[in-house]
Amino acid sequence: MRQISVADKIEVRPMPKGSGDLLETLRENGEFGLYGGRQDGDPLPVLVVALAAEQPSPQSLRQLEHAYSLAAKLDPAWAARPAALTRHEVRTILVLKDPDGEPLDRVLERNQEQPLDLTRFLRIAIGLATALGQVHRRGIIHQDIKPANVLVDDADHVWLTGFGIASRLPRESQAPAPPEIIAGTLAYMPPEQTGRMNRSIDTRSDLYSLGVTLYQMLTGALPFSAVDPISRRNGWLKSSFALLW
């Protein structure tokens, strides 16, 4: 797939799919926006991950670059594979081949915090576990498994995305850092990824995040909740230590 350039006239704004080169807003929060649509003159659908800020942090830029660097290791059968990393106007954007799925977090939002139908839960859970197994077979630790990084279609096929902080090391350590600058998503993050435990991050860390995601699908809620990130982190750590003991 060719790279998107300014000449492609892609407008990143909320519009229905199928409106020429205009993109539908799937998510806009935090450092990144996710959009879906088609390139001008190309019938194949794409996903676009765009940096929200005109002057983003170096860490955010590195995440897009890192996700793009993993393209050769990702299979379109189970991942939204990066196709291009380029700039549009003042934004750096990562273009993904769209498997025509919908982010799982949007599916759960529509369900209004109610559990998924059990049959659908099982189909998605099996597909998600299979996709994650393929990631690990490629020697990758995802490090950010969560509903927002899972795509599902109407037949409940599953693809993973969000490889910006994935690791190609068999294990690594996380230095302690304030919650607001830890890469990843606290609600789904294993304790060792916070840097508060003397334990390395490995493929088992993804299984923790997978478990939180499955719990949310099955119950409609996260296993732990609090009003601020520090309280959430402390609650997760206490619960994890209790399980260890």
Please report, for the domain that includes residue 59, its CATH number: 3.30.200.20
Q: Same domain for 165 and 215?
A: yes
Q: Same domain for 56 and 117?
A: no
- Residue 52 or 144, more confident: 144
Q: What is the per-residue pLDDT for 44?
A: 83
Residues ≥6 apart with Cβ < 8 Å to 20: 38, 40
Q: Same domain for 177 and 143?
A: yes
Q: Same domain for 126 and 235?
A: yes
Q: Is residue 118 part of a domain?
A: yes
- Known catalytic membership, residue 206: no
Residues 138-172 have pLDDT tens digits of 999 999 999 999 999 999 999 999 999 999 975 56
Catalytic residue among 98, 144, 156, 206: 144
Q: Which domain-ending residue is among 74, 97, 120?
A: 97
Residues 15-35 have pLDDT tens digits of 334 444 567 888 887 788 999
Mean of all residue pLDDT scores within the chain: 80
Phi, then psi, of 79 in degrees rounded to 5: -145, 150
d(CA 152, CA 101): 5
Tell me the average pLDDT across 91-116.
93
Question: Of how many residues is the chain composed?
Answer: 245
Contact present, 85 and 60 (Cβ < 8 Å) = no
pLDDT category at 81 given cuts 50, 70, 90 is: very high
pLDDT category at 177 given cuts 50, 70, 90 is: low
pLDDT category at 198 given cuts 50, 70, 90 is: low
Indicate if the pLDDT at residue 213 is higher than 80: yes
Q: Same domain for 56 and 116?
A: no
Q: Same domain for 183 and 237?
A: yes
Contact present, 198 and 192 (Cβ < 8 Å) = no
Long-range contacts (CB closer than 8 Å, 24 or more residues apart) made by 167-176 = 167/140, 167/141, 167/143, 167/201, 168/70, 168/139, 168/140, 168/141, 169/141, 170/139, 170/202, 171/200, 171/201, 171/202, 172/141, 172/200, 172/201, 173/200, 173/201, 174/201
Q: Which domain-ending residue is among 60, 79, 97?
A: 97
Q: Same domain for 83 and 111?
A: no
**Residue numbers of the domain that contains 64:** 6-97
Q: Is residue 58 part of a domain?
A: yes
Lowest mean pLDDT among 69-83, 135-149, 214-228, 230-244: 230-244
Q: Is residue 226 part of a domain?
A: yes
Q: Which domain-ending residue is among 32, 65, 97?
A: 97
Q: What is the per-residue pLDDT for 155?
A: 96
Q: What is the per-residue pLDDT for 87?
A: 82
Q: Same domain for 61 and 80?
A: yes
In percent, the amount of the chain with pLDDT more than 70 equals 73
Q: Is residue 1 part of a domain?
A: no
pLDDT category at 37 given cuts 50, 70, 90 is: confident
Domain count, the chain: 2
